[in-house]
Structure formats: C-alpha cells, structure tokens
C-alpha cells in the first residue's frame, strides 16, 4: 500500500511539472490585426509597410478593406508605416516581447491618419439614375460655388456621369448638377472625410401645357347675319408650361398643404425628437431629396427661436461592424448639420454626434424594430 501511494504521488508531481512547463512556454508568434482609420473612424485603404527593425526585413501591402491580419514572430521590434493620398503618413513602433499568455499574443493596432490640411484633395462625384441606378452618360452641366471664397478647380470636363474637383481640407462646397431630362440637383459637401459621392438624379416630370383659349367668343345661332370679330391687337398668351423646380428648395416654414408628421415645435430642454421623414440611401450618408421638407421645418423653427441650440444625433441598428456603424451614424448627423448651416443656421448653435448601435429604442429582433433603431434625432441643449 505504501508503494502504491508513493507511485500516485510521483504521478501527480509529474503531471504538475508538465502543466507548469506548458504554462511557462513562451509564445513564439503574435497575431496582429492592423487598421488604418481617419479621425471619424472610417477605415482607409492605405498602403502599409512593416519593417523588422532587427532583421530589416520589409513587408508591403495595401489594406483594401482598411484592415489586415498578419503573423509576426515574437522577440522583435517592428515599425509600421501607413500612407494614403491626401493624408499625412502615420507611423507606430510595435514591440513584441516573449510572453507566456496566449491571449497577450492577440493584438489590434490602429494607425489614425490625419488629413493634409494645406493640400488640395480630389472629390470624386458619380451621377446615376435614381430608379435604374445606371450611370448617366448624357452631358452634365456642373456649377460649383465655394462657401469660403477659396478656389475650386475642376480637373476636367464632366464625362460619362462622372466629374472630379479639387478642394482644400475643411472647405465647404455647393455644386449643382443639371442633365437634360432630369431634375437639377444641388448638393453641399464638407471636404473632410467625404471624397466619393454618388448622386441619384430623378427624371423630370413631363411638362403640363395649358389649353389656349379661343380669341373670339363663339356666336350663338340667330336670324341676323353672323358678325365677324376682328382679332385683338394683343397677342395670344403662349402655352403655360409648368416650371421644373430644383430639388433643394429655399428653407421656408412648412404649410398646411404639405404637412409632415413631426413635433419639432414642442421641443423642450433635454427632450429628444426623432426626424421620421429624413432618409438616406442604404449604408450611405447621402441625403435623399425627400428629407428636405422636414429639414426645412427645422430650419424655420431655429430661425424663429434664435436662442435654441441643438444636438443632431445619428443611430443605427446592430447589423454589421460596430465601428463602421459608429462612423456611418456620425457622418449622417454631420450631413444634416451641414444642410442646416447652408440654410443660414450659425454653426455655433449646432452640435452633431454619432452613437452607432449603442442606444437602441427597440430590440433588434425584427426588421421593423431595426428600422426604428436606424434614426436621426434632435435634442434641445438649452434655451
């Protein structure tokens, strides 16, 4: 019996030694996820260079989706360099020491890239049909107006539904696109993080021609000879053609003829109101023309109550990458803020913020509930 106990004790000590050895065995390789982002959190397809400072071995590649996962041997120091047109180069030193905890060998490194403030960068615009989503290949008439007096350079004449112009970082640009057979489209862009824009033009409605009235009253039957009337020297009025209006109207209070379901007028401090009639293209922050009526109501309210300050907040459902949802919600709030500024609301009365999927108002269990969570809200800050 004594010998059996000694055997068991020896076996336990051996197992403990094996486990201890496994726990202290150093990790030989790290799994590193590298991301390149702008200040808003949007992933950038930057060019990445990884240099082993010890061996001078270099790895290069383009982060097509803004992120890249690579295996790097432990016990080395690496320099990460990211480059992307229109942005300042970003660099980070990564030291991968020998560790024994496997969880420590899983790392995510983010390289945040800043815009080149002084450099002009291209804004690429694509024009498509609103219904068919096909590229419009007719001749484009593009007029560009700068808000701050700085120059805007077209890089060439518009062709095949596309054009590009150069603008400085932070420059606010308003441009109008006109195509025969389509409604004119006016768009405002803040040249910060938005450099690839898709515009969907709606087809113009068929002109409505009013019937012309006869120049003389018909003569009713009578026994007397018919009287021939001499045409009036005043020319006959030409046909009345309905005028095609731009899709961006001037900001005016909504009238009873075009009601919008909203309780903006009831805003009180701390109260949040959802803009139920503001629409964006799916997974995009391109504001759709159907949104202008309610936004113009908000403009009218802010002009009538000059002491109000508001926060515009963007929200999403929980589908997709939370970081991309956060960036999308912030960009949507930013676009609405830009619209209000372009319609005469001082920038110091406005604040915008994206919350992504962090503040749902319904469970994300059905499409209807997800639709409720995809929203833009207005909150009164003071006054």
- Tens digits of residue pLDDT in 257-272: 333 334 576 677 767 8
Concatenating the DSSP letter of every residue in 245-278 gives: PPSS-------TTS-----GGG--TT-EEE-TT-
The answer on pLDDT for 359 being more than 90 is yes
Shared domain for 194 and 134, answered yes or no, is yes
> Given the DSSP bridges, would you call strands 185-191 and 272-274 parallel, antiparallel or unpaired?
unpaired
Q: How many Cα atoms occupy the beta-carbon half-sphere of 106 within 13 Å?
A: 3
What is the CATH number for 150?
A: 2.60.40.1120
Q: How many Cα atoms occupy the beta-carbon half-sphere of 159 within 13 Å?
A: 3
**The model's pTM:** 0.37
Q: Of 93, 112, 131, which residue is a domain's last? A: 112
258 within a domain of the structure (yes/no): no
Residue 155 backbone phi and psi in degrees, to 5: -85, -5
Shared domain for 132 and 100, answered yes or no, is no
Dist. CA 345–CA 209, nearest whole Å: 39
Concatenating the DSSP letter of every residue in 146-159 gives: ESSS---EESS--B
229 within a domain of the structure (yes/no): no
- Tens digits of residue pLDDT in 329-357: 998 998 899 889 888 899 889 999 999 99
Shared domain for 156 and 190, answered yes or no, is yes
250 within a domain of the structure (yes/no): no
- The number of domains in the chain is 3
251 within a domain of the structure (yes/no): no
DSSP state of 9: H
- pLDDT for the residue 232: 42
Shared domain for 306 and 270, answered yes or no, is yes
Kindly state the percentage of the chain with pLDDT values over 70.
Answer: 72
- Tens digits of residue pLDDT in 195-242: 678 888 888 876 544 444 444 444 433 433 444 444 444 444 443 333
Q: Within the chain, where are the H helices?
A: 2-24, 292-304, 322-342, 367-373
What is the CATH number for 278?
A: 3.30.1330.60
Shared domain for 126 and 107, answered yes or no, is no
Residue 367 backbone phi and psi in degrees, to 5: -65, -35
372 within a domain of the structure (yes/no): yes
Shared domain for 268 and 378, answered yes or no, is yes
Of 12-21, 112-121, 171-180, 202-211, give the lowest mean pLDDT range: 12-21
13 within a domain of the structure (yes/no): no
Shared domain for 87 and 140, answered yes or no, is no
Shared domain for 195 and 143, answered yes or no, is yes
Shared domain for 48 and 106, answered yes or no, is yes
358 within a domain of the structure (yes/no): yes
Q: Of 201, 219, 253, which residue is a domain's last? A: 201
133: left (phi over 0), alpha (psi -120 to 50) or beta: left
Shared domain for 291 and 356, answered yes or no, is yes
Shared domain for 303 and 353, answered yes or no, is yes
149 within a domain of the structure (yes/no): yes
Shared domain for 151 and 54, answered yes or no, is no
Q: Of 83, 112, 141, which residue is a domain's last? A: 112
Domain that holds residue 69: 24-112
Taking CB atoms within 8 Å and a gap of at least 24, the contacts of 48-52 are 48/80, 48/81, 48/82, 49/80, 49/81, 49/82, 49/83, 50/78, 50/79, 50/80, 51/78, 51/79, 51/81, 52/76, 52/77, 52/78
């Amino acid at each position: 019996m004594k010998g059996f106990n000694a055997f068991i004790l020896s076996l336990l000590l051996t197992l403990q030694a094996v486990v201890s050895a496994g726990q202290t065995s150093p990790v030989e390789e790290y799994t590193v996820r590298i991301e390149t982002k702008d200040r808003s959190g949007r992933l950038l397809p930057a060019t990445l260079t990884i240099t082993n400072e010890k061996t001078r071995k270099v790895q290069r590649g383009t982060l097509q989706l803004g992120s890249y996962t690579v295996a790097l041997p432990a016990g080395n120091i690496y320099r990460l360099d990211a480059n992307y047109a229109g942005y300042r180069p970003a660099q980070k030193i990564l030291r991968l020491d020998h560790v024994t905890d496997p969880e420590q060998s899983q790392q995510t490194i983010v390289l945040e890239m800043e815009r080149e403030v002084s450099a002009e960068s291209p804004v690429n615009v694509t024009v498509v049909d609103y219904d068919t989503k096909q590229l419009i290949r007719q001749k484009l008439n593009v007029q560009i107006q700068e808000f701050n007096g700085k120059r805007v350079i077209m890089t060439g004449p518009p062709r095949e539904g596309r054009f590009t112009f150069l603008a400085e970082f932070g420059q606010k640009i308003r441009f109008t696109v006109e195509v025969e057979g389509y409604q004119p489209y006016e768009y405002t862009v803040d040249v910060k993080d938005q450099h690839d824009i898709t515009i969907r033009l709606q087809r113009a409605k068929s002109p409505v021609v009013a019937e012309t009235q006869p120049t003389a009253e018909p003569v009713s039957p009578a026994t007397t000879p018919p009287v021939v009337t001499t045409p009036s020297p005043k020319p006959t009025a030409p046909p009345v053609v309905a005028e095609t209006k731009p899709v961006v109207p001037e900001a005016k209070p909504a009238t009873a003829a075009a009601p919008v379901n909203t309780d903006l007028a009831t805003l009180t401090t701390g109260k949040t109101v959802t803009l139920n009639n503001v629409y964006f293209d799916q997974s995009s922050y391109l504001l759709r023309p159907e949104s202008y009526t309610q936004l113009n109501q908000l403009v009218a309210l802010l002009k009538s109550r000059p002491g109000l300050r508001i926060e515009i907040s963007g929200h999403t459902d929980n589908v997709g990458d939370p970081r991309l949802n956060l960036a999308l919600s912030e960009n949507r709030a930013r676009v609405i803020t830009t619209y209000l500024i372009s319609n005469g609301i001082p920038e110091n009365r406005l604040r915008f913020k994206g919350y992504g999927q962090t503040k749902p108002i319904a469970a994300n269990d059905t499409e209807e509930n997800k639709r409720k969570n995809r929203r833009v809200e207005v909150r009164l800050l003071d006054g």
